[in-house]
Structure 1
Amino acid sequence: MSKYFLWALMLICMPLWGLACECESIEDSQAVEQADFLFAGKCIGTNSNWMSGGMKYTFLVEHTWKRRLDSIFIVNTPFESQCGMAFEEGARYLVFVEKKFTPKTNACMGNRKIEDPETELSFLGESMAPEPSSLIFPMIGILSLLVIAGIAFLAFVVLRKKS
């Protein structure tokens, strides 16, 4: 009986094994129009996004269009087999992003590696500089609190030993 179950499962799943991502070609103007965010930047981090089944990439944003972004920006993408975009850490990219709950992109949105920014990004016109990252200020506050707590703890230990 288990032999028949395995055969049935294999026949059901077999068509899914051959599925691959197929994108229609997209014009630059159409990609710009469809994107909620558009930026050029360097990929500085890669993490698995197990909650949504894909990858999470961190970028150091150098130029933005359409909307000003933080200098550190995180983008989610599905796995490559589901049309996800694989970004190489250390490389520069032009990234088209849609905002559906979280910023997302995929291989079909027009993303590309940038070799020569001056010529490759000229069709986008004037860019905006990114905002300082909003992640920096909370980290400075947390580190300050930790330093103060450490000093208070050391003072407590030293004063306690003297008594």
Structure 2
Amino acid sequence: MKKILLLLIISSSLAKAQSNAIPNGGFELWNEIPLTETLDNWQTSSSQGMGICQKSEDAQDLNYSVYLKTKEPTEEGDLSFGYISFGDIGNGSGAPYSDPIDSLIFYAKYQMQPGDSAIAVVIQLDASGAETYSILTIGGENTTSFERFA
């Protein structure tokens, strides 16, 4: 049975802190590269050559959304999952905010296998390097309308 994680995330205000939206938070800007498109200003699983983060025209508010899926395990048992990250995970880049992040708001359609889940994570680093995490877990199924998460 093919295991697919469908998570369409849309919002013109994906993340807000002090009313400063993350650049390209509505997922409208995409870069065309041979055989695919990549999300502008975001690191994605497609950036790694996996092709499991795709542009979709099924959008909650604007023109586009992000379609993430999970691919079958390989012969070695490795499971490839779709993800997006603002900034480069490897070097800790992102959006500079001096105040605590008070909300993460997004809309999603999703279809998880029983026992599976998706997560939305916000990590904030202060000047001393201390980290604050906010994690939201999504499970179950909602493929008919976009659901608001906050």
Give TM class, smaller chain. Answer: under 0.3
Higher relative contact order (CA 8 A, sep 6+): 2
TM-score (structure 1 length as normaliser):
0.24
* Structure whose residues are more often helix by fraction: 1
* Structure whose residues are more often strand by fraction: 2
Larger Rg: 1
TM-score (structure 2 length as normaliser):
0.25
